[in-house]
């Protein structure tokens, strides 16, 4: 049967058959003549190997047309000449690119022609051969070579199915045309294309294929599948039938009467089809735009569309074939260049567009001759513009590319860059947004994106080395990150486009790198992809260094990479801006994160100042300051900027900085006695257990030790050599814990408040309370001189003490801020206090020279204001400490000491036990953990056993019994028994440390909504000072004019304004929210993830390991032999013994189910791939496998087969066991659905969230699981590859334009986790999945998905309410303090009350965030 099918031309593929020559999966089914054909072709002829190898050899053997491609292009004409002289060859034609030769024959096969060529080949040409289709057409209307040349051009225009053609001209009538094409092209498809393209050459030409029946055939592309009856009635058409071609069109196949006028018949058919709007012609050309346009309609409507959209006065610019494309880009795009006819019209156009609704962007071109406009509806804008400006104008479509520009801090910087851009041909216009580090560049739509990118990168580099630029591009699914990406380019010479440069992947923030050659030049362009938050300048420096290390020359910024001669300099760019040049030898391909606890920050303006300062520091990639925790993280190149340099920068701003850690630093810090540092250093460097030792400062040494060596070992060995060393025990965790508890800040503010309250309370009692309520002013009756009494002197003395003693920190902070060109909260406080203090002094001095003046004093106001500020700081520090309680409680889970088993390093003999700090632990050390003690590190049990409480990790209240070999987690408690644990992970590598780091980074991150508060805080203080000056001048003028008198005071405006509340609105809520998640076993990696998780539109679940347990288990067991319990027990035990030899997951599931104690050893074990296993046990034969395999040796009853089909319909795998030739039992195996999956999905549906399943499993299983869980079938995506999962997510993002969740657990889910707006990884998943996710569920429980959404929603809502409080307070308080109520009600706000209100505003926001701690996630 197979031979018959094969020889009649049916292609068959059988995996199990190997033809012996072609390999498996060929179409020869073991009976091929491929080897014979290959031998006949000769050694100098190659045939493309692949899926079509057998098909090609068969085509060459049986076909009559061939394509020969000489490996030496110069031999093409020689091959053509030889073939033309070969007997029996009918046609010889060159290909379109003239690199191959086509030949056909009526009598000889392709193999025969190749052999004939070889016999006459004197040059021994090596070439490739492939079979071709050869067809003959009847051609009418062609009477000369000019006609056939025109037709040939149309047929060869890409894309075309016709590879080559040749003609025989008959001047009196019918000519013939022969074509070569690929063998798989269908006849009607070829007919339609040839007929359409021939008609394009001229209307007079007609073409049809001559069939074996003697009639003529041609085909036409149509829309509908119904046959138009009018076509059959046309003269010359004998028969018509409709053939399916594709989803968008069909083929109308026409049989024509011989000797008819083919051209007229085709025109009549086309006219009939057009009348019914059925014609589709992908090869028709535009009659208005020219023969090279991209129109696909038969009658072009471009002119009509242009005039209808814009009118006759407005033209669209388009060069030749781009006209239609440009017209479409103008009418459908969002950016256009308007070129008026005169400068006067340009000025009017610019003014009109600037005030027009719906216009997003208006930018003048670099020559100031045109205007670039951005809008969602360009035709509407153009029509509205033309109504006001009647002049003629030309439109040119544009593309806008967004770049991130760093280093530009003022208009001078942007002007410098703009001057460089003027010399760039590809750049038409540009605009800068310094504050948001944004550069928008306009270019013609026909300009390649790569050219724009390289031009911008080169010109910005010319403007100055301090500038960095990268283009923002849509993100493609990758394993590294899910965020939007940036790309930048470097022009080089000598890079290999096919080589791999591993140094790129080591650069922090770089995701991709590619080398693209520049045509017709000696240059290449290196394109670098990076993460969105990465510094383009830092990446460019690092990549430049990596290129230099590979001996690749970097072109100077002025290099003309498009083809002209240019200067190339080795190793490093020659930057024009020498003041900002950075030594390339200092650049590292790795960045480090420096963490500091910053002291002296009074408000969010201080944090903003630090961030903006480091934005301009070379070598710094990013800086993030958390105003709530005072923790600053600076990411920098350590060779350009080390920890000491960062610390000095912070100190220069008026703050203190204590280093928490330098990422990547490893080893111990030891302190040596004064004067013995050099001796200690030499001693350490000579030790075999020390890898390196270096001085940190005058008395401290950083020592990196060999694996397994502890700090205590180094101390003892040094002591034996007479050097006393002591390990620095000031751990990072201790410092961090102190910072989070805000112990220093609370103690300092408490001390300051008490010291200020002691003199301030008497002041308030004497000056305000007694005078205001009792009318008593005892000190005012004691006169010193003229009107000067004892009261001003006493108040001045007490107030001066408060200002100098308690107000010093405020004045220092204000001076540091002003010195650095900024203003913070301390500036406002100092202005208010100093104004009251100086005014009181002035009034007291005036009283000396006046006999009847009673001075108005504000000493009590100044002192009371400082006292209330310090009280507010004390309360605020306590409240901030409360927001970190969750993180503090996690840190306190970490054990501080461990009991280690000491061994002799040489003999291994146990010497005893010793208690050490957990920070001294290293891998390989064994710790002894008794009952009631926390496990000090992550490791595995090497001795003993006991019950361990792992509730902090799993959430399960029941202890887990641990024995030798089991893993334990640091921080868990041994409840019963005692175990010896070998350290696997210690320090920052433990699970608890990593959880702490994730939570800390999340709390230090900023939610996107925070940027609005940062923008306001940056200008808040200067604006408030300006408002205060204006209010003062207004009330001074009104007082001098005696409008309302002179009793209004103007200090409250400065005092009452508070940017702190706005700055604390987001970070405090994020801290509480992420801490709430950590307590619930949910790690939320940052404010962006928290805000994105608040309101998802859809949640996509992976199936295996996410909705299911991910481990196959036996869910169905059926014994269908006779009821014999002993026999059943014996067979089940034998099945377990047989399957125990396999590592297959299904085998393990069966062994687990059939576990019956000690198992016999199987004999004669045989594994049959794809079927099952067979073995002998205790003299009996046992066969286990698929039902079909069992049926080969025995039979199954109808009832059993029905049960098997029923189990398989549920998506389960069925395994049958046969004992002594008789089927005995079956096992149904499946991946068990998690018990909570159905309830979680129901709860998500209840919240209005769509739930989808994305799995690589088969459709039947996926739909079965979806049905159980309540997921609609149209939400199930099955048989999806890992990259396909990311594309499913991307498709949903584009369709819904909403936040998309993806929940997964494995490496195959990583692309989808990265692509999703929020990726959620199950805690039991792989490390790669956990790294790619935005949210990690520590507990292996799907309720965490719902709880994370609930926590995110509650936190985001709290942030918004915090902003309502903060903004509402300032909006209401500032006008009241300015006196808006005074004219009508004679009410004014005393400065002391203003100070209390300012403190209360921050406390209100903090209290609002702390209320979030009462939120409890629910299961509904």
Q: Would you please indicate which residues are annotated as catalytic (active-site) residues?
A: 1102
Give one DSSP letter per residue of 406-450, joined into a string: ES--SHHHHHHHHHHHTT-TT--EEEEETTTTEEEEEEETTS-HH
Residue 934 DSSP code: B
Q: Interior CA angle at 154 toward 153 and 156, to 5°?
A: 65
Nearest to 606 by CA among 657, 655, 659, 656: 655
Residue 334 DSSP code: S
Q: Which contiguous run of DSSP H or E holds residue 612?
A: helix 604-615
Task: List the alpha helices (DSSP H) in 1093-1156.
Answer: 1125-1139, 1145-1153
Kindly give the interhelix angle for 604-615 and 643-652, rounded to the nearest 10 degrees: 130
Rounded to whole angstroms, the Cα distance separating 634 from 625 reads 9
Residue 698 CB-density burial (10 A; 0-12 exposed, 13-18 middle, 19+ buried): exposed
Rounded to whole angstroms, the Cα distance separating 267 from 204 reads 10
Work out whether the CA dihedral 396, 400, 401, 404 comes out positive or negative: positive
| Long-range contact set of residues 803-811: C-beta below 8 Å, sequence gap at least 24 | 803/833, 803/837, 803/862, 803/863, 803/866, 805/755, 805/756, 806/752, 806/755, 806/756, 806/866, 806/867, 806/870, 807/833, 807/866, 809/600, 809/752, 810/602, 810/866, 810/869
Which residues does residue 194 pair with via DSSP β-bridges, in sequence order? none
- Residue 1387, sorted as left (phi over 0), alpha (psi -120 to 50) or beta, turns out to be beta
Rounded to whole angstroms, the Cα distance separating 32 from 29 reads 7
Rounded to whole angstroms, the Cα distance separating 412 from 288 reads 49
Helix (H, G, I), strand (E, B) or coil at 86: coil
Rounded to whole angstroms, the Cα distance separating 1061 from 1405 reads 6
Taking the CA atoms of residue 1379, residue 1382, residue 1385 and residue 1391 in that order, the dihedral angle to the nearest 10 degrees is: 60
1382 φ/ψ angles, rounded to the nearest 5 degrees: -65, -45
871 vs 83, 749, 1395, CA distance in Å?
102, 7, 11
- Evaluate the omega torsion of the peptide bond into residue 367 and state whether it is cis, within 30 degrees of 0: no
Give one DSSP letter per residue of 216-236, joined into a string: EEEEEEES-SSPPHHHHTSTT
Q: Over the range 553-584, which residues count as b (16 or more CB within 10 Å of their CB) and which as e?
A: bbbbbbbebbeeebebeeebbebbeeeebbeb
Q: What SS3 string covers 883-906? A: HCHHHHHHHCCCCCEEEEEEECCC
636 φ/ψ angles, rounded to the nearest 5 degrees: -150, 165
Identify each DSSP E strand in 1000-1077 by its residue range: none
Helix (H, G, I), strand (E, B) or coil at 1019: helix
Rounded to whole angstroms, the Cα distance separating 824 from 814 reads 7
Nearest to 386 by CA among 310, 445, 329, 333: 310
Taking the CA atoms of residue 174, residue 179, residue 184 and residue 188 in that order, the dihedral angle to the nearest 10 degrees is: -30
Contacts of 1045 (CB under 8 A, 6+ apart): 1039
Kindly give the interhelix angle for 110-120 and 76-84, rounded to the nearest 10 degrees: 110
**CB count in 10 Å sphere of residue 1203:** 18
């Amino acid at each position: 049967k197979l031979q018959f099918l094969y020889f009649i031309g049916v292609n068959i593929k059988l995996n199990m058959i190997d033809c012996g020559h072609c390999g498996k999966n060929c179409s020869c089914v073991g009976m091929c003549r491929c080897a014979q054909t290959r031998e006949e072709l000769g050694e100098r002829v190659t045939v493309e190997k692949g899926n079509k190898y057998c098909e090609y050899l068969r085509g060459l053997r049986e076909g009559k047309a061939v394509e020969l491609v000489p490996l030496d292009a110069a031999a093409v004409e020689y091959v053509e000449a030889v073939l033309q002289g070969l007997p029996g060859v009918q046609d010889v034609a060159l290909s379109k690119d003239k690199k191959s030769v086509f030949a056909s024959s009526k009598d000889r096969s392709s193999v025969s022609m190749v052999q004939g060529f070889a016999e006459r080949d004197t040059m021994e040409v090596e070439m490739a051969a492939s079979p071709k289709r050869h067809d003959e057409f009847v051609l009418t209307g062609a009477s000369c070579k000019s006609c056939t040349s025109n037709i040939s051009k149309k047929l060869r225009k890409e894309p075309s199915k016709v590879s080559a053609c040749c003609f025989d001209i008959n001047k009196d009538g019918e000519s013939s045309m022969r074509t070569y094409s690929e063998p798989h092209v269908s006849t009607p498809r070829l007919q339609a294309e040839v007929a359409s393209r021939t008609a394009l050459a001229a209307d007079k030409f007609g073409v049809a294929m001559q069939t074996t029946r003697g009639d003529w055939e041609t085909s036409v592309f149509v829309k509908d599948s119904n046959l138009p009856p009018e076509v059959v009635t046309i003269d010359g058409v004998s028969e018509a039938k409709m053939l399916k071609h594709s989803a968008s069109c069909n083929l109308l196949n026409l049989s024509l009467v011989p000797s008819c006028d083919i051209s007229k018949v085709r025109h009549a058919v086309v006219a009939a089809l057009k009348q019914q709007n059925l014609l589709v012609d992908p090869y028709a050309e535009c009659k208005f735009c020219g023969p090279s346009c991209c129109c696909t309609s038969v009658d072009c409507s471009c002119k009509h569309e242009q005039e209808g959209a814009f009118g006759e006065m407005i033209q669209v610019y388009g060069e030749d074939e781009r006209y239609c494309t440009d017209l479409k880009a103008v009418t459908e795009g969002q950016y256009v260049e308007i070129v008026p006819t005169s400068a006067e019209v340009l000025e009017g156009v610019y003014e009109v567009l600037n005030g027009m609704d719906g216009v997003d962007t208006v930018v003048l071109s670099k020559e100031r001759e045109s205007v670039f406009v951005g809008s969602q509806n360009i035709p509407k804008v153009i029509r509205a513009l033309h109504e006001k400006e009647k002049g003629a104008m030309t439109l040119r479509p544009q593309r806008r590319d967004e770049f991130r520009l760093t280093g530009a801090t003022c208009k001078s910087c942007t002007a410098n860059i703009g001057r460089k851009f003027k010399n760039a041909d590809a750049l038409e216009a540009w605009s800068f947004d310094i504050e948001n580090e944004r550069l928008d560049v306009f270019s013609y739509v026909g300009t390649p994106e790569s050219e724009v990118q390289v031009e911008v990168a080169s010109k910005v580099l010319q403007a100055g080395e301090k500038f960095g630029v990268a283009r923002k591009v849509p993100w493609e699914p990758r394993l590294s990150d899910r965020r939007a990406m940036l790309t930048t380019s470097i022009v080089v010479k000598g890079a290999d486009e096919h080589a791999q440069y591993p140094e790129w992947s080591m650069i922090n923030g770089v995701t991709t790198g590619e080398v693209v050659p520049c045509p017709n030049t000696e240059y290449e362009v290196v394109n670098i992809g990076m993460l969105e938050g990465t510094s383009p300048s830092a990446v460019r420096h690092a990549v430049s260094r990596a290129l230099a290390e590979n001996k690749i020359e970097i072109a100077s910024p002025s290099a003309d990479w498009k083809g002209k001669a240019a200067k190339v300099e080795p190793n490093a760019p020659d930057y024009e801006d020498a003041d900002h040049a950075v030594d390339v030898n200092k650049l590292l391909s790795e960045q480090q994160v420096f963490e500091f606890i910053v002291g002296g920050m009074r408000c969010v303006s201080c944090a903003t100042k630090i961030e903006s300062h480091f934005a301009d520091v070379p070598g710094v990639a990013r800086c993030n300051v958390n105003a709530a925790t005072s923790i600053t993280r600076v990411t920098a190149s350590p060779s350009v900027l080390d920890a000491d340099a960062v610390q000095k920068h912070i100190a220069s701003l008026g703050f203190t900085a204590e280093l928490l850690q330098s990422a990547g630093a490893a080893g111990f810090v030891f302190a040596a006695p004064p004067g013995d540092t050099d001796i200690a250093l030499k001693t350490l460097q000579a030790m075999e257990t020390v890898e390196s030792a270096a001085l940190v400062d005058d008395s401290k040494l950083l020592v990196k030790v060999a694996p397994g060596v502890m700090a205590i070992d180094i101390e003892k060995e040094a002591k034996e050599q007479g050097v006393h060393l002591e390990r620095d025990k000031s751990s990072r965790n201790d410092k961090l814990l102190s910072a989070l508890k805000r112990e220093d800040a609370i103690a300092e503010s408490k001390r300051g408040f008490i010291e200020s309250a002691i003199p301030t309370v008497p002041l308030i009692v004497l000056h305000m309370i007694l005078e205001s309520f009792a009318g008593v002013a005892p000190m005012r009756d004691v006169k010193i001189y003229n009107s000067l009494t004892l009261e001003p002197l006493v108040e001045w003395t007490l107030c001066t003490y408060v200002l100098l003693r308690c107000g010093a920190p405020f004045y220092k902070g204000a001076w540091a801020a002003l010195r650095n060109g900024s203003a913070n909260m301390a500036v406002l406080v100092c202005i208010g206090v100093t104004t009251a203090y100086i005014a009181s002094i002035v009034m007291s001095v005036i009283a000396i020279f006046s006999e009847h003046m009673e001075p108005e004093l504000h000493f009590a106001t100044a002192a009371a204001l400082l006292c209330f500020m310090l009280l507010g700081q004390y309360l605020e520090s306590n409240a901030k400490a409360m927001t970190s309680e969750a993180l503090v409680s996690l840190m306190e889970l970490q054990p501080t000491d461990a009991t280690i088993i000491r061994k002799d390093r040489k003999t291994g003999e146990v010497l005893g036990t010793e208690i050490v700090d957990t920070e001294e632990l290293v891998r390989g050390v064994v710790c002894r953990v008794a009952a009631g003690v926390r496990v000090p590190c992550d490791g595995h049990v090497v001795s003993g056993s006991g019950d361990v409480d792992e509730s902090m990790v799993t959430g399960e209240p029941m202890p887990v019994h641990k024995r030798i070999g089991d893993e334990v987690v640091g921080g868990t408690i041994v409840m019963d028994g005692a175990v010896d644990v070998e350290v696997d992970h210690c320090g920052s590598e433990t699970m608890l440390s990593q959880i702490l780091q994730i939570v800390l980074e999340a709390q230090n991150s900023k939610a996107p909504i925070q940027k609005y508060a940062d923008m306001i805080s940056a200008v808040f203080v200067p604006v408030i000072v300006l408002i205060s000056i204006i209010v003062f001048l207004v009330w001074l003028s009104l007082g001098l004019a005696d409008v309302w008198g002179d009793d209004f005071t103007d200090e409250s405006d400065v005092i009452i304004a508070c940017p702190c509340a706005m700055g604390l609105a987001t970070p405090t809520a994020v801290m509480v929210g992420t801490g709430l998640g950590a307590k619930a076993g949910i790690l939320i990696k940052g404010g962006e993830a928290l805000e994105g998780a608040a309101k998802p539109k859809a949640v996509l679940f992976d199936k295996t390991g996410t909705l299911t347990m991910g481990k196959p288990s036996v869910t169905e067991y059926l014994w269908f032999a006779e009821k014999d319990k002993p026999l059943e027990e014996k067979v089940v035990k034998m099945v377990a013994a047989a399957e125990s030899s396999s590592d297959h997951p299904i085998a393990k599931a069966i062994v687990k189910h059939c576990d019956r104690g000690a198992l016999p050893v199987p004999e004669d074990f045989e594994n049959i791939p794809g079927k099952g296993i067979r073995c002998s046990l205790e003299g009996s034969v046992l066969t286990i496998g698929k039902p079909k395999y069992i049926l080969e040796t025995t039979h199954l009853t109808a009832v059993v087969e029905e049960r098997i089909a029923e189990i398989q319909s549920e998506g389960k795998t069925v395994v049958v066991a046969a004992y002594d030739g008789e089927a005995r039992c079956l096992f149904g195996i499946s991946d068990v659905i998690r018990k909570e999956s159905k309830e979680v999905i129901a709860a998500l549906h209840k919240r209005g969230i769509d739930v989808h399943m994305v799995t690589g499993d088969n459709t039947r299983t996926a739909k079965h699981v979806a049905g159980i869980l309540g997921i609609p079938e149209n939400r199930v995506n099955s048989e999806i590859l890992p990259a396909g999962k990311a594309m499913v997510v991307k498709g949903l993002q584009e369709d819904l334009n909403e936040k998309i969740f993806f929940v997964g657990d494995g490496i195959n889910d990583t692309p989808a986790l990265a692509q999703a707006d929020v990726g959620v990884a199950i805690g039991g998943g792989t490390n790669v999945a956990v790294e790619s996710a935005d949210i990690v569920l520590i507990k292996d429980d799907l309720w965490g998905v719902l709880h994370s959404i609930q926590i995110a929603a509650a936190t985001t809502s709290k942030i918004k309410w915090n902003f309502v409080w903060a903004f509402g307070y300032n909006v209401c308080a500032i006008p009241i303090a300015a006196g808006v109520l005074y004219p009508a009600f004679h009410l004014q706000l005393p400065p002391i009350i203003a100070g209390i209100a300012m403190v209360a505003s921050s406390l209100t926001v903090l209290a609002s965030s702390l209320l979030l701690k009462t939120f409890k996630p629910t299961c509904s």
